[in-house]
Chains A and B, each alone.
Chain A
């Protein structure tokens, strides 16, 4: 158990809908990262937040947004969902501001199925 929690574990929704994925980092970790893993594109880095501020941005679509709250939990919002958004979404956390070069601890993932 990495100490990173993600909810929900599974999510089934329809095209055009909006969902919110939630992540709680390990106690004391200030950085949160979001990743998407799909069958055709593999793992992709979406975005990183450090202590509430956006720190690094990867291949995040404009239909997706994220934020990190004062209690350091983070949410990833996916809107206008398409079939191709079906994937595993991982959250990870790390201790500080070292960014992408820090060791990250991964949550169990949220499996999203868009029908």
Chain B
């Protein structure tokens, strides 16, 4: 079993829908990153969370350290949100473990 599990692996939705991507992990962590990888391959860091909730535009990320779970939400989704979303957990000072990614497709 992977230390970091994302669900769903693939998600297709219509423009305007509310999107939720989940990340569960089985180890103790100090923080968690959400990344976006565009179809062309470029990676953008969306959020770094150690507790609570963060919001940036239409993106919201939450984390519950006790329940070992984080979610990434996209409101009013748009075709340009189509990408692979990756969570990565930080264990201690030296270990960074990635989830396998969630491929999101938003149809117009």
Residues of A whose CB lies within 8 Å of any CB of B are 2, 42-45, 56-58, 88, 90, 92, 99-106, 108-109
Docked pose: A90 CA to B95 CA in angstroms: 17
Chain B residue with Cβ nearest A56: B94
Contacting residue for A101 out of B42, B50, B95, B100, CB 8 A: B50
Of B15-23, B61-69, B85-93, the one with at least 4 CB within 8 A of chain A: B85-93
Chain A residue with Cβ nearest B90: A100
Contact check, A106 vs B94: say whether CB atoms are below 8 A apart.
Answer: no
Chain A residues with CB under 8 Å of B95's CB are 45, 58
- Quote the shortest CB–CB distance from B56 to chain A (angstroms): 11
Inter-chain contact count A-B, CB under 8 Å?
51
Contacting residue for A44 out of B50, B93, B98, CB 8 A: B98
Chain B residues with CB under 8 Å of A106's CB are 42-45
Docked pose: A57 CA to B94 CA in angstroms: 6
Residue B96 at the chain A interface, CB threshold 8 Å: yes
Tell me whether A42 and B101 are in contact in the complex, defined as CB-CB below 8 angstroms, given that A100-B90, A101-B31 are known contacts. yes
- Quote the shortest CB–CB distance from A51 to chain B (angstroms): 16
Contacting residue for B86 out of A43, A99, A100, A101, CB 8 A: A43
- Quote the shortest CB–CB distance from B42 to chain A (angstroms): 6
- Quote the shortest CB–CB distance from B70 to chain A (angstroms): 15
Chain A residues with CB under 8 Å of B33's CB are 104
Chain B residue with Cβ nearest A94: B45
Contact check, B98 vs A43: say whether CB atoms are below 8 A apart.
Answer: yes
Residue B48 at the chain A interface, CB threshold 8 Å: yes
Docked pose: A2 CA to B50 CA in angstroms: 24
Docked pose: A47 CA to B44 CA in angstroms: 19
Tell me whether A101 and B30 are in contact in the complex, defined as CB-CB below 8 angstroms, given that A42-B100, A108-B42, A109-B41 are known contacts. yes
Contact check, A104 vs B45: say whether CB atoms are below 8 A apart.
Answer: yes
Contact check, A56 vs B93: say whether CB atoms are below 8 A apart.
Answer: yes
Max chain B CB contacts within 10 Å: which of A45, A58, A92, A105? Answer: A45
Contact check, A101 vs B41: say whether CB atoms are below 8 A apart.
Answer: no
